[in-house]
A = this chain, B = another copy of it.
Amino acid sequence: MEPRPRHSRQRYEARARIAKALAHPSRLMILEALENREMCVCDLTELVGADQSTVSKHLAVLKQAGLVADRKEGVMVYYKLKVCCLKGFWECIETVLAENLKLQQAVLQ
């Protein structure tokens, strides 16, 4: 059985671009916060606890990946989730973490 990729390299690269956008703690925090309601950059800056410019760049990454949308209202810019499929992602991550923890504890005993 010769192993063959199921999809094209471009497709895996496209998938990885999305996954990369998810691969930072601050961005995960932002995404989770936006599940409740839309928030302005100032809110998110306070939430993350980093420099405003840093948060702004994180938001640009999320927007570029198509995960959030922004809306300007006066001086403020509000961001909201653009996709509702993140639930499956959270569940997957948490499952892995729980499994890892279980194994670690088993080793200690």
Contacts and interface: CB of A to CB of B under 8 A. Distances in A.
Interface residue SS majority, chain A: helix
Given A23-B16, A28-B15, A92 B85 contact: yes
Of the four ranges (under 10, 10 to 19, 20 to 34, 35 or more), the interface on chain A belongs to 35 or more
A74 interface: no
Contacts of A60: none
Given A16-B25, A18-B93, A66-B99, 4 more contacts: A5-B29, A6-B33, A15-B94, A19-B28
Interface of A: 2-7, 9, 12-16, 18-20, 22-29, 32-33, 39, 43-44, 46-47, 65-67, 82-83, 85-89, 91-97, 99-100, 103
